[in-house]
Chains A and B, each alone.
Chain A
């Protein structure tokens, strides 16, 4: 007997985790890109 509740939970949490973690990574990349740019400018 398949536990469909668990299957739906795996699907929704899985896809949610994939998109949210990669979205946070995108934000982080933009953020540290800006920080690096600023620090490099200051060093110049």
Chain B
């Protein structure tokens, strides 16, 4: 009888498991009731729940089901590049091609990545760990996961959850910083309507980008190549089936695997450590500095350009597509209801994705 009882999970439950259950329930609750990144938080929350069930061995090396998802999906670098394929098929680079200056804002918004990188080093993290924490500031979930799996896999749960949490909290984190760093006059700046972009330009863009970025930072190739391939599918117009699959079915499948794999790394032993709190703090700092840097760079550019940029679009340089661009639009419309900033903000927004991938490539090349 005692042997039979010992084979159940109940007697092996720990306080840590129960705390992780609460975290899992919180994620699922936030996803369902508050709509915070539900596509990720539901599978992540469920992954946390089941990996903290004793004796299930779901993350047992070589045998566990979730270990196989994690190993072959993340450690083998399959899932994040496939997510980028789908993102590419969903992304319209038109606003950025129409106003290429906005690419600089996407670069400026990477500043927070390095603030968090140095902050993490000062807190005692090693260089590979600091790289994984810093990249949270790019506000790009798949890039954060890709970088962390390579450099600091033991921090995967914390960095991934921090990245996705802050991305979903963009409408709460960014507006106070935007208000603090801009004047009412600047918030009302109207930008000239964007020119139409030809189909040829849109087809050339992914080809040129993959050449430029992968030649400068070869380590970014897995993400950048798939991102641009997805975009070429979308823009070339002759592979609609592939484009649709990359943007919908494939994206959905890999999102499920990504979410549950990330959740599965969050066992009580791996997650309930003081350093996880530091990861969340540094992630928030990275996010705030990235937002501020984008805004300040837009103001700096206004010193030189005749056509003024509304600094509110600078904050969209953090990747979080399209949430950050929407925040710029909402904020601008609050001060001038006829000011339409959304398309202008999409430029730095998608440029931010490219900038984050480049920053991650350098981390992978030098930080490992």
Contacts and interface: CB of A to CB of B under 8 A. Distances in A.
Interface string B95-116: 0110011011011001101100
For this complex, into which size category does the number of interface residues on chain B fall? 35 or more
B198 A29 contact: no
| Most B-side CB within 10 Å, residue of A4, A11, A20, A39 | A11
A26 B208 CA distance: 11
B363 A10 contact: yes
A24 B216 contact: yes
Interface stretch (B24-32, B264-272, B352-360): B352-360
B351 interface: yes
A28 B103 CA distance: 12
Nearest to B111: A15
B212 A28 contact: yes
B110 A21 contact: no
Contacts of A15: 110-111, 114, 359
Contacts of A24: 212, 216
B348 to A, nearest CB: 10
For this complex, into which size category does the number of interface residues on chain A fall? 20 to 34
| Most B-side CB within 10 Å, residue of A6, A19, A40 | A19
| Most B-side CB within 10 Å, residue of A2, A21, A30 | A21
Given A2-B127, A15-B111, A26-B101, A21 B204 contact: no
B360 to A, nearest CB: 9
B198 A40 contact: yes
| Most A-side CB within 10 Å, residue of B107, B117, B355 | B107
A26 B301 CA distance: 15
Contacts of A32: 201, 204-205, 208
A36 B176 CA distance: 42
A18 B359 contact: yes
A9 to B, nearest CB: 6
Contacts of A30: 100
| Most B-side CB within 10 Å, residue of A2, A25, A30 | A25
Given A7-B118, A14-B362, A39-B200, 16 more contacts: A7-B121, A10-B363, A10-B367, A13-B366, A14-B110, A14-B114, A17-B217, A18-B110, A21-B358, A22-B103, A25-B213, A26-B103, A29-B96, A29-B208, A32-B201, A33-B97
27 contacts: A7-B117, A10-B362, A10-B363, A10-B366, A11-B118, A13-B366, A14-B363, A14-B366, A15-B359, A17-B216, A17-B358, A18-B110, A18-B362, A21-B213, A22-B107, A22-B358, A24-B216, A25-B100, A25-B208, A25-B213, A26-B101, A26-B103, A29-B96, A29-B208, A33-B97, A33-B201, A39-B200
